[in-house]
């Protein structure tokens, strides 16, 4: 049985993403000997995190990983939209669908960057704003 790329259902995509997050994503964390360190080393000892600086570092790690993850997902969605656009031919509804994917990804990236800039600016103002980076206070 030969499958066409158009036959990929939302259910199969959801299954793939679920399998990825359950099976692959945990192996990327440093707790499992992987690539990404979310919890600071000083929090791994007895008693957990000992200062507010450890909590701030944990929050910074989560923020950075969320931004990296959103960029990877955006790249995948750009590739998907490009594939849809290239295989659309003269079918205008497929071209509109591909353009909608591009537009939504760009809007999503703008929201992510704007939220990060808003939080960064707000925290710089609250911590004095004298060129001091809020995530490097400790």
Best mean pLDDT range from 38-47, 63-72, 83-92: 83-92
Mean pLDDT of 68-75: 86
pLDDT tens digits, residue range 86-125? 998 889 999 999 999 999 999 999 998 898 888 777 766 7
CA distance 70 to 105: 10
Closest CA to 76 of 17, 5, 3: 17
CA distance 33 to 39: 13
Mean pLDDT of 126-138: 60
CA distance 100 to 102: 5
Q: Which two tokens stand for residue 52?
A: 């507010």
């Amino acid at each position: 049985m030969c499958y066409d790329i158009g036959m990929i259902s939302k259910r199969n995509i959801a299954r793939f993403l679920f399998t990825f997050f359950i099976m692959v994503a945990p192996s990327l964390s440093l707790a499992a000997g992987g690539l990404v360190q979310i919890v600071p080393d000083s929090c791994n000892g007895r008693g957990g995190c000992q200062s507010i600086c450890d909590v701030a570092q944990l929050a910074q790690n989560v923020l950075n990983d969320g931004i990296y993850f959103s960029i990877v997902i955006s790249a995948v969605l750009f590739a998907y939209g490009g594939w849809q656009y290239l295989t659309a031919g003269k079918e205008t509804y497929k071209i509109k669908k591909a353009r909608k994917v591009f537009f939504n990804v760009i809007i999503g990236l703008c929201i992510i960057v704007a939220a990060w800039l808003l939080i960064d600016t707000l925290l710089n103002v609250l911590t004095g704003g004298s060129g001091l980076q809020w995530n490097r206070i400790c």
